Amino acid sequence: MNTVSPSAAQYVGGVMQEELVENRRQQPLERQGSFGLRSPQTPDPSREATGEPDEMDKLKAKLMSAWNNVKYGWTVKSKTSFNKISPVTVLGHSYLLNSEDEVERFRLAFVSRIWLTYRREFPQLEGSTWTTDCGWGCMLRSGQMLLAQGLLVHLMPRDWAWPDVQQLTDVDFEVFRPRSPARAGGVPIPSFATPRGTNTPEKSLPSDQVPKCSQKKRPESVRDSQVEPVHHRLVTWFGDQPPAPFGIHQLVEISKSSGKKAGDWYGPSIVAHILRKAVAKTSVVHNLVVYVAQDCTVYKEDVVRLCDLSLSQTPPDPSNQAWKSVIILVPVRLGGEALNPSYIECVKNILKLDCCIGIIGGKPKHSLYFIGFQDEQLLYLDPHYCQPVVDVSQVNFSLESFHCSSPKKMPFSRMDPSCTIGFYAKNKKDFESLCSAVSEALSSSKEKYPIFTFVEGQSQDYGLEGHSSNNSGPAAHILPPGKLGRSNNRRNSDEFVFL
């Protein structure tokens, strides 16, 4: 991709503005499938060896950080419109927004997702001058959100909702009755919101003027008192301090083995492998592994060998049914320069599955975390908002900045074809159900070849000994089912091959 797509958009002064293609036409862009803004400096091999930036690099990083902190540090609030006759799907659950109760259920489901965004003024990233990830870390943040959702379903009850949602803020969206003569979008149903925006101080209102929804505060149950400490602890794992196992410092450090550094672009495939290594490296999460698919193929026996604890015993003990939960990440490409429309129905069916934990991808050069859809538009969480760092080591730190109150949508047609799809299976039975349900969803594609496949056996059976998801960097090639190459001579990159 040598130019920026006319449909690509980015935040300018906090408002989504169409990119000026002509002004960007002469700027070289890194290969397709990476997201974010790239620092313009050219690496000096002598400095690369020491890993230390020179004074010019430091000055450039400071100027870029200052600009990005301003650029992404504020936003103009705008409400997203939803219609009340089509269901909204959020990670396997559907909501028909035709009543207060259904709107409230959707509100709870959306706001309870963990939202991870750009941060500023965190401890300096090792080997760099960066104290913010503004402008370059959006795909890492999207990956964090995907992993956070996997950890939520791993550690929390399936019907968990954040009990403090009511105290947060209004959910900034409107629900319309379509085809109304009053306006093209329809007429909104009564608002269920307070007047506060994301970064606008809350105003106190007389009790008779406060909307009914904001007066309701769910009494803390016994389960809440048991689960909320887990919620807090989970968020600390994504804190912007070097010790946090899934924080920006750890992810950037892990990425060095893939030739990446702070300030670089990250693609969805590389981020999948970074997340796998981060989970394998830490001891804070028990009984969980991450498997990254190779060649758009999930090798079932490879997953079994990761999860089945009895196979790690010598000799194997068939009576031991212990099984690790697994997050399965599948890097795929859904077209060439743009999304192939034939895959849209398939993506919808995947997002309808209870085992799906979302998709990291975005628009061209603008990473997003997709969690659902309504009609022909995707629902997403956007990391492109710069917030001050939160000291998660403090007792009872505020969770408000880790939960988003503004659902946003975009047309499927603007989706970048490069993405990574996530799934979660708690046990062996769930994994078997996952394979069956996902395979059925994949069969809905109108294309000759599915987005990816499940096959029996191990990757080494197909000549992929050197490309196990436990050992390698990202390699992603689209091959027809049943015609997997048996050669070991495969590329190890973030590129995709189309047949």
pTM given for the model: 0.76
Would residue 477 show up in a list of annotated catalytic residues for this protein? no
- A 10 A CB-CB count for 321 gives 11
Would residue 138 show up in a list of annotated catalytic residues for this protein? yes
Candidate list 366, 384, 467, 477, residue with the active-site label: 384
**Backbone torsion region of residue 13, taken as left when φ is above 0, otherwise alpha when ψ lies between -120 and 50, otherwise beta:** left
List the Cα angle 245/250/251 in 5-degree steps. 110
Pairing of strands 356-363, 366-374: antiparallel
Report whether 35 contacts 1 (CB < 8 A).
no
Q: Which DSSP letter does residue 43 get?
A: P
Report yes or no on 257 lying in a domain: yes
Q: Measured between alpha carbons, how far is 291 from 272 in angstroms, rounded to an integer? A: 9
Nearest to 43 by CA among 352, 262, 298: 262
Pairing of strands 297-299, 453-455: parallel
Report whether 430 contacts 399 (CB < 8 A).
no
- Residue 184 tokens read as 């093209």
Report yes or no on 114 lying in a domain: yes
Q: Measured between alpha carbons, how far is 104 from 166 in angstroms, rounded to an integer? A: 10
Within 25-168, residue ranges assigned H as helices are 45-50, 55-71, 100-111, 138-155, 165-168
Show Cβ contacts of residue 23 under 8 Å, excluding neighbours closer than 6 positions. none
Q: Measured between alpha carbons, how far is 151 from 234 in angstroms, rounded to an integer? A: 8
Q: Measured between alpha carbons, how far is 83 from 178 in angstroms, rounded to an integer? A: 6
Report yes or no on 166 lying in a domain: yes
Report yes or no on 221 lying in a domain: yes
Q: Label residue 5 exposed, middle or buried (CB < 10 Å: 0-12, 13-18, 19+).
A: middle
Q: Measured between alpha carbons, how far is 371 from 462 in angstroms, rounded to an integer? A: 33
The packing angle between helices 268-281 and 248-255, to 10°, is: 110
Residue-wise over 372-404: b if at least 16 C-beta within 10 A, else e?
A: bbbeebbbbbbbbbbbebbebeeeebebebbbb
Report whether 282 contacts 439 (CB < 8 A).
no
Report yes or no on 222 lying in a domain: yes
Q: Measured between alpha carbons, how far is 302 from 295 in angstroms, rounded to an integer? A: 14
Nearest to 244 by CA among 185, 285, 199: 285
Would residue 375 show up in a list of annotated catalytic residues for this protein? no
Report yes or no on 73 lying in a domain: yes
How many domains, in total, are found in the chain? 1
Report whether 463 contacts 488 (CB < 8 A).
yes
List the Cα angle 399/122/366 in 5-degree steps. 80
Candidate list 57, 133, 138, 172, residue with the active-site label: 138
pLDDT at site 49: 47
Nearest to 392 by CA among 72, 73, 202, 116: 116
Candidate list 133, 164, 302, 382, residue with the active-site label: 382
Which residue matches tokens 């009543």?
A: 99
Q: Measured between alpha carbons, how far is 327 from 432 in angstroms, rounded to an integer? A: 14
Report yes or no on 486 lying in a domain: no
Mind listing the pLDDT tens digit of every residue in the chain (499 residues)?
333 333 333 333 333 333 333 333 333 333 344 454 444 444 454 444 445 556 666 666 666 656 565 556 555 556 789 999 999 999 999 999 999 999 999 999 999 999 999 999 999 999 899 999 999 999 999 999 999 999 999 999 988 999 887 665 555 677 776 554 333 344 444 333 433 333 333 333 333 333 333 334 455 566 677 889 999 999 999 999 999 999 999 999 999 998 999 999 899 999 999 999 999 999 999 999 999 999 899 999 999 999 998 876 656 555 555 899 999 999 999 998 899 999 999 999 999 999 999 999 998 889 999 999 999 999 999 999 999 999 999 988 999 999 998 899 999 999 999 999 999 999 999 999 999 999 999 998 777 788 999 999 898 877 655 445 554 444 433 333 343 433 333 333 343 333 2
CA distance between the termini of the chain: 19
Report yes or no on 284 lying in a domain: yes
State which residues form the domain around 291. Answer: 9-467
Q: Measured between alpha carbons, how far is 460 from 464 in angstroms, rounded to an integer? A: 5
